[in-house]
Amino acid sequence: MADRKRVGGGAAAAVRPSSAPPARAVVLIAGVLAVLAASPAGAVAQEAAGAHSPADPGAEVLALERQIEAAVLDADTAFLEDVCASDFTYTHGDGWTTGKPILGVDHRAEWLASLAGRYSAREVDSQQVELHGDVAITMGRVRARSGGPAAAQRAFSFWYVRVYAERDGRWQYLSHRTVHGPLYED
């Protein structure tokens, strides 16, 4: 597996989006931002004294997100254990946005254990980031292909909202929520 750094690195091959995120995703994002705006300033750990101060923290977060996607594809659990917070959660499926059941919620250990052989392709596009001090909210789309025998693989995509926090001078991945999808192409 390739070595990865926490920041920097090349951009993944971008794919032009074929559609904008659904309106309910925009409403959901607005709700997430409202909750963050109302939270106390001390709710997230402050940057450690003497830690780096990047010129463009938004670009740093988006680069980290691309590195995370590459690590998910490779099932690089060592990298992901380091970057995911101990209380990380991954919410699958968008049923929760319309009052239906979610497909599932994985905590860090469960999610990491599920990655080996799960994907044959996976990349992020349409990335956006909003910075709120030491909290970053990203939105975008993942295009993926399931793993396994070629005849059984399925292409799909989903739109997401993710939350990161800068802790001890580095960004940590706190949460993923699918806001639209999965959408299967075949």
pLDDT in tens, 125-163: 999 999 999 999 999 999 999 999 999 999 999 999 999
Q: Is residue 160 included in any domain, yes or no?
A: yes
Whether 9 is covered by a domain: the verdict is: no
Q: Which residue shows structure tokens 């997401």?
A: 160
The string of DSSP letters for 40-81 reads -GGGSPPPPTT----S-HHHHHHHHHHHHHHHHHHT-HHHHH
Q: Shortest CA distance to 33 belongs to which of 161, 141, 160, 134?
A: 161
Does 41 map to a domain? no
> Is 131 inside a domain boundary?
yes
- The region of weakest confidence among 22-26, 67-71, 138-142, 181-185 is 22-26
Note down the domain range covering 179. Answer: 23-35+48-184
Is residue 7, in this structure, part of any structural domain at all?
Answer: no
Q: Report the CATH number that the domain containing residue 97 is assigned in CATH.
A: 3.10.450.50
Residue 7 has pLDDT above 90, yes or no: no
Query: Does 169 score more than 50 pLDDT?
Result: yes
* pLDDT classification of 186: cutoffs 50, 70, 90: confident
Chain segment 38-97, per-residue pLDDT in tens: 443 333 322 322 344 457 999 999 999 999 999 999 999 999 999 999 999 999 999 999
Residue at token pair 């909290």: 135
The predicted structure's pLDDT at residue 54: 54
Domain count along the chain: 1
Q: Is 6 domain-assigned?
A: no
Are the CB atoms for 147 and 153 separated by under 8 Å?
Answer: yes
Residue 66 included in any domain: yes
**Nearest CA-CA partner of 138 in 168, 175, 166:** 175
Is residue 163 assigned to a domain?
A: yes
